[in-house]
Amino acid sequence: MHCTDNTQQIMKTLLRTTALLVCLSGATYAQNRSDSTDSNKPLISQDTKQDINQTVDEAQQTINEEYRQSVRYQNANELTWFQQGTAFGGAGLGVGAADSKFSLGVNLRAGYFLQPGFAVGLIYNTDRIVGNSYRARQFGVMARYYPFRTRVSAFIGANLSRGREFSDDIPDGTKSKYTSVGVEIGAMAWVYKRLGAEIAYQGNFYNKIDPVASLSRGGRLKLGVNYYFGQVGNKKRNR
C-alpha cells in the first residue's frame, strides 16, 4: 500500500512540475516578443520568475526523494521468492471469448530464477472451445521478469510453444500442428507462506490454426497460483 501511495504521489508531482515548466516556457516566449509599440514589456516580474524556478526546483527534489523512498521500500520488503536459485511451480485457468465462442484452458508452469526477478521455465497448456469438438494442447518454454517484487508483484513475460489441434473438422490421420508466441502482463499477490495468486492477460499469435476455431484463440485472461520453493518471507523479516 505504501508503495502504491508513493507512485501516486510521484505522478501528481510530475504533472505539477510539467505544468509549471509549460507555463514558464510560454511566459518567457511571450516576454521576449515586442508589443505594438516595439517596446519590450515583461509579462511577469523577475521576482515571479524566481518564485517559479524555486517551485520547480522543490518539485524536482520531491520527486527524487520519493523515488529514493520507493527504492528503499522495495529493497527492504523484496520477497526472497524471487532470488537467484529459487524454483517455482504453478497452475491456472485461462478464459477467452470471441465471435460468440468461449474457450477454457488449463495451464501448467515450472520455472527457475537465473537472476533476481528473472525466471525461465517450461509450460504446458490445454484449450477447449465450449460447446465445440475443438481442443488443443501445447508445450513450450517461457521467460518472466518481475520488476516489482514485494507482497504485490508485477510481471511481464513471453513464451514460445509448439502445439497440436483436434477437431471433428480435422480429417482423421491429419496432424494439425502449429507454433505460437505468447506475451503476458500481470500481477501476483502473496496469499500464504510460499503461495502466491496471480492474474494476467496473455496475447497469443499463431502461424496457423483451425479456421473454424481461430477467432476464439486470441487473448486470454488467466487466473492461477504459484508455489515457491525458496525461503519464506521478505528480506526485512529474514534479518
Q: What count of other Cβ atoms lies within 10 Å of the Cβ of residue 184?
A: 20
Tell me the domain boundaries of the chain: 2-77, 81-238
- The full DSSP string for 150-210 is SSEEEEEEEEEEEEEEE-TTSPTT--EEEEEEEEEEEEEEEEETTEEEEEEEEEEEES---
The predicted pLDDT at position 161 comes to: 92
Name residue, grid cell 500464504: 192
Instruction: Looking at the chain, list the stretches that DSSP marks H as alpha helix, in order from N- to C-terminal side.
Output: 2-31, 46-77, 235-238
The predicted pLDDT at position 53 comes to: 78
Q: Which of 43, 45, 63, 67 is nearest to 55 (CA)?
A: 63
d(CA 177, CA 143): 23
Q: Which of 105, 121, 104, 101 is nearest to 113 (CA)?
A: 121
CATH topology of domain 81-238: Porin (2.40.160)
d(CA 15, CA 54): 16
Instruction: Looking at 78-175, list the stretches that DSSP marks H as alpha helix, in order from N- to C-terminal side.
Output: none
Q: What is the amino acid identity at position 57?
A: D
The predicted pLDDT at position 237 comes to: 45
Q: Are 106 and 91 in contact (CB under 8 A)?
A: yes
Model pTM?
Answer: 0.66
CA atoms lying within 13 Å on the CB side of residue 224 = 25
Residues of the chain with pLDDT under 70: 1-44, 67, 70-71, 73-75, 171-175, 208-218, 231-239
- Alpha carbon of 88 to those of 113, 121, 192, 193: distances in Å? 9, 9, 15, 13
What SS3 class is residue 10?
helix
156, β-bridge pairs: 145, 185
